[in-house]
Amino acid sequence: MTFDVALKLMRYLIFSRHGKGHGIHSPFVFRLVTSVFRNKTGAEVVLTIEQIRKKNLADTRTIDVLDLGAGSLKMKSSKRKVSDIAEFSSVPRKYGILLASMAGEFGKPAIVEFGTSLGISTLYLASGDAGSVVYTMEGCPQTSEIALENFNLSGFKNIKLLKGPFDESLDFITQNVNLGLVFIDGNHRKEPLLKYFVTMAEISTPQTVIIIDDIHSSREMEEAWKIIKDHQRVSITVDIFRMGIVFFREGMSHTDYIIRY
């Protein structure tokens, strides 16, 4: 953890509201924190996904990574071990469980993920509700193949992998998918993030939820997050430090929350 990130984390810990819901006056956000955030994903499901993660952490294969985003801060070379990608790029267990809970609550009829990587986050999203289809987009061909291996191992049948640049896959998404939940984690730069958010916001319903990963990972991401919070359609945002959660609920006054998670 860099000094800059440590300072941001300290600020978050000082200003965040209690993770058990104390001091939250909005009934909607109180329920989100006390019911959805604290919901427990089935132990067997978590075990299955974490065993796949463990397999990837022990995978010494080297692949050529086509990085179409800002690139990894910890992996500079395009040739990377699968084990390193699993260690540095896959969503941690704690936040994977949160994605599963959010998918179970808000994911119907469909979930869209920007950035599959090895597919760990995809598996958590797919585990939330077997009735929700997860459309996950990945620009790197070799990473996509590892993700497909993981999907086959998991046994989940509700995942559709869209290979290629996000802009190409978005044509299909915007014309064919009724959004429940969107998870954006694939290009940690300001302009692409804003473009993807606006595109998703335009086809979102009042029930759609958008989750953005790594909102405090750089100045660019923080600038984008601030602009997103001020978007005219946004009613409620929740900052849990690693992720930002955006709601478009009607009839609610605009409020930005910082919640301990």
Query: Strands 179-184 and 110-114, how do they pair?
Result: parallel
* Residue located via tokens 């599963």: 100
What number is the average pLDDT over the span 141-148? 96
pLDDT value at residue 77: 66
Contact yes or no for 139/165 (Cβ under 8 A): yes
Return mean pLDDT, the chain.
91
Q: What is the pLDDT of residues 49-100, one digit of tens each?
A: 999 999 999 999 999 998 765 544 455 568 999 999 999 999 999 999 999 9
pLDDT value at residue 18: 61
pLDDT value at residue 217: 92
Domains of the chain: 3-258 (3.40.50.150)
Task: State the amino acid at position 91 in one-letter form.
Answer: V
Classify burial at 132, counting beta carbons within 10 Å of its beta carbon; exposed 0-12, middle 13-18, buried 19 or more. buried
What number is the average pLDDT over the span 157-169? 94
pTM to 2 decimals?
A: 0.92
pLDDT value at residue 216: 94
What number is the average pLDDT over the span 205-222? 96
Alpha-carbon gap, residue 38 to 10, rounded angstroms: 23
What number is the average pLDDT over the span 167-171? 92
Could you tell me the CA-to-CA distances from 238 to 145, 253, 257 in Å, in that order? 34, 14, 5
Length of the chain: 261
Alpha-carbon gap, residue 221 to 197, rounded angstroms: 12
Q: Tell me what percent of the residues of the chain surpass a pLDDT of 90.
A: 79
